[in-house]
Amino acid sequence: MEGLNWAFAADAVQMYGGLSGMPTIENATLYRNSVKRLLEEVCPKQLFLGYPFRNKNGVIQSAQIEGEQVAKVLQASLEMDAKLSDVVKRHLSDGLPTEQHELYAPFSSIADEMGYTGNPRHLPCAFFVIMNGYLEERIR
């Protein structure tokens, strides 16, 4: 908000995600660009998130971020995005695997590396939304 130097990000900034430990990123490019814009151009002094999200250590953070913590939260969000992008790139560099896993096919190796333990049977499953977002980015 102009003059107050506040930004309401809602779910546009998610650090390391919520209960699942992964942010729900539907479009990786847009997510990354939005977070970078907040960090480099908007530079808010207060940032209001949609929910409390986890930091790198898995600790739930307040949904209201102030002062120097704002840049740290935004940087953490970019770090997680880079990690997800790298994991998807490495695991799917040869395309989708042919082996299937009961829960996360064909993304079981990614779920294992990321430590994802969410239940994909709860639809819509954030894990599959995330995988689709990063796959679409690789295809473009």
pLDDT of amino acid 84: 92
Question: Max Cα separation, the chain?
Answer: 55
Reported pTM: 0.85
Chain position carrying tokens 């990614």: 110
Q: For the segment 79-126, what is each residue's pLDDT rounded down to a tens digit? A: 999 999 999 888 887 766 666 666 666 777 888 888 887 776 666 678
pLDDT of amino acid 2: 65
Domain ranges of the chain: 6-139
DSSP helix/strand/coil, 47 = strand
